[in-house]
Amino acid sequence: MTYSRCSPVAAAEAASAVRAAVSLLPDGQRRVVELACFGGLSYREVALAAGVPEGTAKSRLRLALAEPESALGRQLLESW
């Protein structure tokens, strides 16, 4: 599979779309996404940083990634 490189403008628009989608999440979900996806933390580290049990951190991340996926995908496609 080959991947085309997107222009800096397209990359900036995609990053903006991701930030917009993440900003719409409820606080708890947004926090775990930021820690796991942007901070690179493990579930255990996310749980410790967020002050929640590990199972709660996993559930919040799963919920956060399940719903915005379709909206995020549409935003990314529209930005290209």
- Inter-residue contact 12 to 2 (CB < 8 Å): no
Residues contacting residue 22 through CB under 8 Å, at least 6 positions apart: 30, 33, 34, 68
Domains of the chain, with CATH numbers? 27-79 (1.10.10.10)
Tens of pLDDT along 10-64?
778 777 878 888 888 889 999 998 999 889 999 999 999 999 999 999 999 888 8
Dist CA 31 CA 22 (whole Å): 9
- Give the pLDDT of residue 78: 58
- Give the pLDDT of residue 23: 86
pLDDT at 80 over 90: no
- Per DSSP, 24 falls in state T
